């Protein structure tokens, strides 16, 4: 695979991961506030939503990534203690870690690296 194709594929991955986490956490926040009011799930969803938004901004990518990992990894463990195998949380965490280690897929930093 050539470098431009790999870069394009990573840009798509970065955008889809960040956008999907943003949309899913927004939906969770909306449903949590509607069903139970401001509680634990609403706080978790709000932090996840902010982290996903920050992950999409090149300058705040690592801050957003840390926020997401702080939510996703303990979330997997909590579900695991309840006998729930929520593998998607580990998949999201691995994707976030990949994006954090690679750096921004767009913006001035990415153009300088390319």
Q: Is 29 inside a domain boundary? A: yes
Q: Is 114 inside a domain boundary? A: no
Kindly give, in sequence order, each residue whose CB lies less than 8 Å from that of residue 58, ignoring residues fewer than 6 positions away. Answer: 103, 104, 106, 107, 108, 109, 110
Q: Is 64 inside a domain boundary? A: yes
Tens of pLDDT along 15-27?
A: 999 999 999 999 9
pLDDT at 111 over 60: no
Q: Is 13 inside a domain boundary? A: yes
Q: What is the pTM of this model?
A: 0.87
Q: Is 31 inside a domain boundary? A: yes
pLDDT at 106 over 90: no
- Using only C-alpha atoms, the chain has a radius of gyration, in whole angstroms, of 15
Helix residue ranges, H only, 3-60: 3-36, 40-56
Give how many domains the chain has, as a whole number. 1
Segments forming the whole domain that contains residue 83: 3-109
């Amino acid at each position: 695979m050539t470098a431009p194709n790999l870069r394009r594929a990573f840009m798509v991955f970065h955008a889809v991961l960040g956008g999907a986490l943003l949309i899913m956490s927004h939906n969770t926040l909306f449903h949590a506030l509607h069903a139970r009011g401001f509680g634990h799930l609403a706080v978790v969803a709000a932090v996840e939503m902010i982290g996903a938004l920050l992950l999409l901004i090149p300058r705040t990518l690592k801050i957003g990534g840390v926020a997401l990992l702080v939510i996703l990894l303990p979330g997997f463990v909590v579900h695991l203690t309840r006998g729930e195998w929520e593998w998607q949380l580990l998949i999201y965490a691995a994707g976030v870690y990949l994006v954090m280690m690679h750096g921004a897929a767009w913006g001035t930093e990415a153009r300088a690296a390319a």
